[in-house]
Amino acid sequence: MAVVQEEIESKYDRIIELKAFDDSKLGVKGLVDAGLAKIPRMFIHPQHNLYEKSGPIDSHSNIPIIDLEGVKNDVTLHAKIINEVQKACENWGIFQIVNHGISEGILEEMIEGIRRFHEQDAEVKKEYYTRDFTKKASSASWRDALLITITPNPPDPIQLPLVCRDIVVEYSKQVKHLGYTLLELLSEALGLEPNHFKNMEFAKQGFFLAQYYPSCPEPELTLGTKRHTDPNFLTIVLQDQVGGLQILHENHWMDVPPIPGALVINTGDVLQIVTNGRFKSVEHRVLAQHEGPRISVASFFNSCFPPSSKVYTPIKELLSEENPPNDK
pLDDT at 51: 59
Domain assignment present for 28: yes
Domain assignment present for 327: no
Structural domain boundaries enclosing 219: 2-318
pLDDT at 5: 39
Domain assignment present for 123: yes
Domain assignment present for 273: yes
Interval 174-202: pLDDT, tens:
999 999 999 999 999 999 999 999 888 77
CATH code at position 121:
2.60.120.330
The C-alpha atoms of residue 261 and residue 113 are separated, in whole angstroms, by 16
Domain assignment present for 59: yes
pLDDT at 1: 42
pLDDT at 252: 87
pLDDT at 15: 79
Domain assignment present for 52: yes
Domains contained in the chain, number = 1
pLDDT at 179: 94
Question: Could you give the percent of the chain with pLDDT greater than 70?
Answer: 86
Domain assignment present for 325: no
The segments of the chain whose pLDDT lies below 50 read 1-6, 8-9, 134-135
User: What is each CA distance from 257 to 63, 102, 182, in whole angstroms?
Assistant: 9, 19, 21
